[in-house]
Structure 1
Amino acid sequence: MEATQYLIGVDGGGTGTRVVLADVRGTILAQATGGASGLGLGVARAWQAIEAACTQAFDSARLRLDWSTCAMGCGLAGVNNRDWLAEFIAQAPPLAALDVQSDAYTTLLGAHGGQAGVIVAVGTGSIAAVLERDGTWAIAGGYGFPSGDEASGAWLGLRAVVHVQQALDGRVRPDAFSAALLGQMNVADRDALVVWLCEANQTAYAALAPVVLAHRDHPVAAALLAQAGADIAKLVDALDPEAALPVALCGGLAAPLAAYVPASYRARLRPPRADSAHGALELARRASVGVGAGAGAGTVRGPGAAA
């Protein structure tokens, strides 16, 4: 096996994948994006998206992709399901080293530069995590769609659909909000909505979140956004009851939802230093030198890391 030459950081969720490619000194060579790679959408689909984004990154850097020279760190949604994690590792290409952790952990690493702090990640799904000053970490939320993931895009979309249902059958008056949601779903009547509901997954519901935000003054949308802010506060309280640590809101919905976080919490908000993909790059660096993340999940090292 050739010596490790490249580090790959992967951030994978229910909407998309971000990849950061660096040399072994940590110099960023390229970045790329791809399709969804959250494990809840299927392990084969996850690897397909990751490999496509990695290929794009290597092509952008004008380099040849050879898995055996690469150490990869992954922060993925869904690794708390041990069966999905085991299958993901089993299907990995022959990397020099692979470390797979929750996207909450890689978001923590990136957001606070490895220092103590709290993150609440709100995107397609949601999860909160704290890194304590002694290096231990813990999570809150993140139980997944549809029962959990409070304040996430999918959570907002799932609840916004109720307004559409009631508008279609006369329980509430149809309005611009219900019409915009129907337009996003490409649905015109009750029968078409039933078909959509039977086929919709987490990503489809999350695609409705921008419609909720665009109609934030509508009473239903306003109530959903207020509840999202309150749920973010509850996640922070669960992880830092003494209110002693900085808090970073991360993910695609971080900026629009910040305004709905209660005022007493907004004073503690800090912009993240870096994103989950860069946190995953740190996992890759540690894996390449044989230093474990110390955060559970899965690590595989050596020739043909997941043969």
Structure 2
Amino acid sequence: MTEAFRYLVGVDGGGTSCRARLCDARGKVLAEARTGSANILLGADIAMASIREAIAIATAQAGLSEQNYGEMAVGLALAGAEQRKAWYDFMAQPHPFARLTLNTDGYGACLGAWGGQDGAIFIAGTGSVGLLRRGKNVTVVGGREFPISDQGSGAVMGLRLIQQVLLSVDGIVPQTELARLVLAHFDHDVDAIVEWSKTAHPCDYGQFSPEIFRLAEDNDALAVTMLQQTAADIEMWLNALIAHGADRICLMGGIAERMGPWLTPAIQRRLATPQGDAMDGAILIAQGDHNLYPL
């Protein structure tokens, strides 16, 4: 019961950033903060460090201190939490909070989008996942992490972009302004691209998304192709959710929220406006019994 906690904290963590929202027991927002990646597949300790830093910043902004951590119920909506071992590895870590509840970023986004009621969402930022919630029954499509899944995301779009840039270097496809921009990012050194790719994370590939959207507005052929492919991927996931029984679907995340105009009219008619965001969903996770796996 939330009456036992003076404060509620909702955390939305993905491959690029970690956002924390600190509220009082009634849900009034006291402060918000953002830090680095909190995808638990990149390391349970890395994710926990980002989470604790974000909560510390929000706590200070609200005029509180670490002494208040024992009064906080923390709800986590984190990328990678669907992987059972990663979930248990993360939850095995010590923490100073009164309660820590962990579910996926997709689940948190769905709770937030539909105000805790049943509904469907497709979230695409650095990664991607679709989710349909009907009571205790949750259907998930995709979300199996980059590079084997996450179609429709910034990471996959960035990977495809790098592939096309290298093809342009070989003279196989035309070299557009977008390709030249990416080459300039690597000082026109193909070997540097290859070396970078050996250790690049999803967020590293996703960093090119803003330029893709910008240059698509100028009809850069490569940028337009990237968004057309991403739109086709998103429609694939949306149609899968519809086949599972979804009626209306909320698009969420930095990529998905900008893709509406690129989708077909039939799919656009299925879209709904989210009532809230993933941090709203994480606050609901903090309030209830929403652990993905048993402790």
In which range does the TM-score fall when normalised by the shorter chain? Answer: over 0.9
Give 1:171 deviation, angstroms.
Answer: 2.5
**Structure 1 partner of 2:165:** 164
Where in structure 2 are the equivalents of 1:71-150 lying within 5 Å? 71-132=73-134, 134-150=135-151
The 8 Å contact of residues 81 and 103 in structure 2, kept in 1 or not, is answered as: yes
Give 1:51 deviation, angstroms.
Answer: 0.7
TM-superposition CA deviations, 1:87-135 (whole Å, max 9, x none):
1111141321111001111100000112222100010000000122x44
- Counterpart-to-counterpart distance in 1, 2:118 and 2:98: 30
CA RMSD of aligned residues (A): 1.8
- Counterpart-to-counterpart distance in 2, 1:263 and 1:61: 45
1:31 aligns with 2:27: no
SS at the partner of 2:129? strand
Give 1:241 deviation, angstroms.
Answer: 2.1
Q: Specify the code of the residue in structure 1 equivalent to 2:187.
A: V
SS at the partner of 2:132? strand
Q: TM-score, normalised by structure 2?
A: 0.92
1:232 to 226, 234, 253: 234
SS at the partner of 2:175? coil
Unaligned stretches of 5+ residues in structure 2? none
- Counterpart-to-counterpart distance in 2, 1:130 and 1:186: 40
Give 1:244 deviation, angstroms.
Answer: 5.4
SS at the partner of 2:156? helix
Give 1:274 deviation, angstroms.
Answer: 0.7
1:255 aligns with 2:257: yes
Unaligned stretches of 5+ residues in structure 1? 287-291, 300-307
Q: Specify the code of the residue in structure 1 equivalent to 2:147.
A: P
Give 1:269 deviation, angstroms.
Answer: 1.2
Aligned residues: 289
Q: Specify the code of the residue in structure 1 equivalent to 2:292.
A: G
**Identity of counterpart residues, as a percentage?**
34
Question: Which shows bigger deviation, 49-58 or 252-261?
Answer: 252-261
- Counterpart-to-counterpart distance in 1, 2:168 and 2:233: 27
**Structure 2 partner of 1:296:** 292
2:277 to 257, 275, 278: 275
The 8 Å contact of residues 158 and 208 in structure 2, kept in 1 or not, is answered as: yes
Cα–Cα, structure 1 residues 143 and 244, in superposed 2: closer, same or farther, change >3 Å? closer
The 8 Å contact of residues 68 and 96 in structure 1, kept in 2 or not, is answered as: yes
Cα–Cα, structure 1 residues 186 and 92, in superposed 2: closer, same or farther, change >3 Å? farther
**Structure 1 partner of 2:153:** 152
Cα–Cα, structure 1 residues 13 and 19, in superposed 2: closer, same or farther, change >3 Å? same
- Counterpart-to-counterpart distance in 2, 1:173 and 1:129: 38
Q: Specify the code of the residue in structure 2 equivalent to 1:34.
A: T
The 8 Å contact of residues 176 and 222 in structure 2, kept in 1 or not, is answered as: no
TM-superposition CA deviations, 1:47-97 (whole Å, max 9, x none):
111111101101111111232221111000001222211111111413211
**Structure 1 partner of 2:6:** 5
The 8 Å contact of residues 179 and 222 in structure 2, kept in 1 or not, is answered as: no
